[in-house]
């Protein structure tokens, strides 16, 4: 099998300058993208969805993993001819979707079959995309391999009591386990962004261990961490008001000390709180 031309040549040939409005910072080091792709694990029989392939630095090693097929979702149409030409070098079936990943129905794309999502995420949509995938019901993915800016990666995996702990860690812990597996300094990207990045691997929990009412969990965590220095008795007031009750009543139902601060309560405490909120509201 012949290999596609070097990425820099492809970028020059197709005139693919990075466009800041799409959050474009490219990975051109195929050693690094090869490592990221390998985090997908065994993908035989599995569809990989790549969000934001850009010029294809990660797409190449993903195609080389020989998944069942690779579906690439890219908002910037300029990349499509280059990506299609690259994919021709690999036997893996390749599908290109031009559009906004926030609006794509991934389960429909994969026909309900197992999927892995791999992405060097555009910074501006990384968090909303993760929340969309965490909320997906039924869970269509069996692994997410996602490059975030480091500070966001730390918020995804943060344990209770740490500075980065909050809404994102709790929503993630409700349905999945997550770990940071790789760090990438800003200089690994072209052009370099202002901050370092990290790859997070996220896997769904067994169905019986998931807390799936993420909508209720969002309400209570937003309220609790909106004023994270205050005690829960105070900070939960907004969420309690929405359910027509008091913070104290909710906290009592969840078995949580009203004098505690949000950051000291482990995810399970917030699951109980979300359940109490939902039961009171309905
Ligand atoms: N994967 C490439 C790499 O590693 O070199 C590019 C990564 S770059 C950080 C993010 C990519 O996501 C860009 O190609 C950008 O056009 C694309 N993108 C930005 N917003 C998007 C969205 N909402 N849906 C799909 N793609 C998007």
pLDDT at 1: 60
Distance 97 CA to ligand 1 centre (A): 13
User: Ligand 1: which atom is nearest the Cα of residue 101?
Assistant: 24
pLDDT per residue as tens digits for the range 38-62: 999 999 999 999 999 999 999 999 9
pLDDT given for residue 230 in this prediction: 95
Under 8 Å between Cβ of 54 and 79: yes
Residue nearest to atom 8 of ligand 1 (CA): 24
Tokens of 279: 């039961």
Q: What separation in Å is there between the alpha carbon of 28 and the centre of ligand 1?
A: 14
Q: Return the percentage of the chain with pLDDT > 90, whole number.
A: 93
Examine the pLDDT at 63 and tell me if it is beyond 70. Answer: yes
Q: At which residue do the structure tokens 């072209």 appear?
A: 190
How remote is the CA of residue 180 from the centroid of ligand 1, in Å? 21
Ligand 1, atom 17, residue with closest C-alpha: 52
Tell me, what's the pLDDT at 282? 79
Positive or negative: CA dihedral 27, 31, 35, 38: positive
Q: At 164, phi and psi to the nearest 5? A: -85, -5
Q: Which residue's CA is the closest to the ligand 1 atom numbered 3?
A: 26
The protein residue with its alpha carbon nearest to ligand 1, atom 14, reads: 54
Indicate the top mutation candidate among 10, 22, 57 to test ligand 1's pocket, ranked by most ligand atoms within 8 A of CB.
22
Condensed to tens digits (0 to 9), the pLDDT of residues 221-261 reads: 999 999 989 999 999 999 999 999 999 999 999 999 999 99
DSSP 8-state class, residue 228: T
pLDDT range class, residue 113, cuts 50, 70, 90: confident
Q: Tokens 């993908």, residue? A: 43
Residue 145 CA to ligand 1 center (angstroms) comes to: 14
Nearest residue to 99 via CA among 79, 73, 119: 73
Q: How far is the CA of 98 from the centre of ligand 1 (A)?
A: 11
Phi, psi dihedrals of residue 246, rounded to the nearest 5°: -105, 160
């Amino acid at each position: 099998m012949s290999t596609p031309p070097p990425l820099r040549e492809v970028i020059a040939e197709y005139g693919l300058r990075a466009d800041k409005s799409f959050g474009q910072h490219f990975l051109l080091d195929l050693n690094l993208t090869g490592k990221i792709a390998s985090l997908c694990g065994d993908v035989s029989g599995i569809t990989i969805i790549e969000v934001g392939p850009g010029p294809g630095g990660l797409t190449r090693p993903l195609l080389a993993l020989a998944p069942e097929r690779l579906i690439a979702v890219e908002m910037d149409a300029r990349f499509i001819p280059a990506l299609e030409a690259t994919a021709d070098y690999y036997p893996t079936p390749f599908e290109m979707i031009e559009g906004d990943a926030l609006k794509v129905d991934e389960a429909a794309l994969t026909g309900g079959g197992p999927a892995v999502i791999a992405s060097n995420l555009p910074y501006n949509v990384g968090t909303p995309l993760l929340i969309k995938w965490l909320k997906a019901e039924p869970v269509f993915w069996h692994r997410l391999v996602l490059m975030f800016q480091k500070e966001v990666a730390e918020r995804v995996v943060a344990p209770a009591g740490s500075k980065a702990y909050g809404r994102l860690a709790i929503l993630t812990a409700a349905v999945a386990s997550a770990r940071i597996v790789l760090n990438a300094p800003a200089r690994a990207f072209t052009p370099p962004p202002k901050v370092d990045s990290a790859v997070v691997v996220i896997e769904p929990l067994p169905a019986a261990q998931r807390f799936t009412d993420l909508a209720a969990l969002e309400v209570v965590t937003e309220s609790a961490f909106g004023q994270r220095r205050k005690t829960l008795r105070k900070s939960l007031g907004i969420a309690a008001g929405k359910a027509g009750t008091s913070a104290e009543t909710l906290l009592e139902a969840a078995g949580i000390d009203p004098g505690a601060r949000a950051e000291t309560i482990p995810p399970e405490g917030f699951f109980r709180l979300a359940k109490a909120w939902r039961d009171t509201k309905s």
